[in-house]
Chain A
Amino acid sequence: MKYQDAKLRRMLAAEYVLGTLRGPARRRFERLARADAGVRAEQYFWEAYLGRLGSAVRPVEPAPTVWISLQRRIGAGNTVPLRKPAPAQAPKPVPLWRIGIGLAAAATVAAVVILTQYRAPAPVTPPVAQVKPAAPLYVAQLKVPDSTMQWNVSLSPASGQLTVTASGAYPQLGQHSMELWWISPQGPVAIGLLPVQGQNKLELPKDLTAQGGITLAVSLEPPGGSPTGKPTGPVLTSGPASLSA
């Protein structure tokens, strides 16, 4: 009987690593492996062997935006909260840290809201819309290396407005379009096509927030912009937008 159990556990470990064990069964196995060193050893045995099969796969370069997003997600200069998430009772690796980031961000937003409310002197009459300060304005300068092409961008996430002014030229452009992206923690969000000259006004998608800083990027796309909703061509430039003084 015991032998049967051992055999079953071995098979679970092998199928976990191979990937044919799916869904809730994976989570159950992970709990089992955390509690049982023998099962863990079996899992590692398979990882060490089967993992080598990966070396037969042809490498493919990911889009540069992946690294840009990643840098934002690890919070350049603000790594401590990410590296030390609040320990949960039963750490479940993947979903928890994603939720954790969301919760941390939500907590920050809540804190800001509370602070703002606290600092505002209790109004005698209900606050009127006109009293609100102007929505904060952010500015960015995006230059394409090895060309004179550049854009001056000003944007206000609160009002959803973005103004971009082009100068210089990008001779290699040909029939392509240049598309502006907002690099959110979830990945790049399309803002719109950039002008090669003059000024354009673009509308920002509603759910974007300046919380944690703003990073913009420009990619080279087929005429009319990316057909997939995500950058498909090379990233020409990227940079932060900073709060306008």
Chain B
Amino acid sequence: MSPASAEPEHLAQLLTATAGGDQRAFAQLYRTCSAHLFGVLLRILQRRDWAEEALQDCFLKVWQKSETYEPSRGSPLTWLTTIARYRALDLLRMKRPEVEMPEEGEEPPLSFADPTQDPVDRAIEGEGIGRLRDCMGGLQDEQRRSVLLAYYEGYTHQELAQAMQAPLGTVKSWVRRGLSRLRECLEAVGGAMENG
């Protein structure tokens, strides 16, 4: 995905055209965004076949519902990422019994969460992510790690508890306090984003 072709304005145009049934615009949207979304899906689902299924479902939904995009949900790419993640979370639930133990011969999980590596450190500096990064930096370590693991790996509270070797209740409160503090911080520095 080249950043130039993923300009929010350009993507917004493609979404509008897609809402009008323009298959070429839809194809271009797919070409521009599929690798990005597939990366996010693969990270959560850990299996290529599931990630491909989720990617297909996600784009099918975009084809059917691209008119429901609204800028208050973020840039077009952010919105697409949201749709993809929601699909992945639903798929994980459907396939949960298999999640624990990938079948033999299956590709090894592509990336286990590495607690020493903060994904935000690798974030592309884009509009708004600086603020998010600053606010993330203001969280306690455990709070930040729980929020990031939940976001990137799609972990449930239970999985977080396992990954962080902490009691469930403790992990839940890390997530909640982390989100509360994050919200206060984002609100304080980003009044423009306030929705009432």
Contacts and interface: CB of A to CB of B under 8 A. Distances in A.
B194 to A, nearest CB: 8
Give the 3 A-B CB pairs with smallest separation, nearest first: A51-B78, A41-B195, A48-B74
B154 to A, nearest CB: 5
Contact of B36 (A57, A70, A76, A228): A57
Contact of A70 (B56, B74, B156, B196): B56
Contact of A228 (B64, B105, B150): B105
Given A44-B72, A74-B60, A59 B132 contact: no
B78 A22 contact: no
Interface in A49-108: 49-63, 65-67, 69-70, 73-74, 76, 79, 82-83, 85, 93-94, 97-98
Contacts of A52: 74, 78, 123, 126, 128-129, 132
A231 to B, nearest CB: 9
A42 B43 CA distance: 26
A59 B34 CA distance: 8
- Mostly, the A contact residues are helix
A38 interface: yes
Nearest to B148: A53
B139 interface: no
Interface string B71-100: 011100111011001110110010000000
Interface of B is mostly: helix
24 contacts: A19-B85, A19-B150, A20-B150, A44-B70, A45-B193, A45-B195, A47-B73, A47-B74, A49-B186, A51-B82, A52-B74, A52-B128, A54-B40, A54-B81, A55-B123, A56-B119, A59-B35, A60-B39, A61-B35, A62-B51, A66-B34, A74-B26, A93-B65, A230-B49
Contacts of B38: 59-62
Nearest to A58: B39
Interface string B158-196: 001000000000000001100110110010000001111
A59 B51 CA distance: 13
Contacts of A83: 21, 63-64
A63 B52 contact: yes
Interface of B: 1, 21, 23, 26-27, 30, 34-36, 38-40, 42-43, 48-49, 51-53, 55-57, 59-61, 63-65, 70, 72-74, 77-79, 81-82, 85-87, 89-90, 93, 105-107, 119-120, 122-124, 126, 128-129, 132, 147-148, 150-152, 154-157, 160, 175-176, 179-180, 182-183, 186, 193-196
Given A19-B89, A53-B119, A57-B39, 8 more contacts: A14-B179, A20-B160, A55-B77, A55-B129, A61-B35, A70-B59, A85-B64, A187-B49
Interface string A12-24: 0011011110110
A26 B81 CA distance: 17
Nearest to B131: A49
Contacts, number: 186
Contacts of A57: 36, 39-40, 43, 119, 152
A49 B132 contact: yes
Nearest to B126: A55
B183 to A, nearest CB: 7
Nearest to B49: A230
A232 B106 CA distance: 11
Nearest to A10: B183
Contact of B72 (A18, A20, A48, A79): A48
B17 to A, nearest CB: 13
A19 B119 CA distance: 17
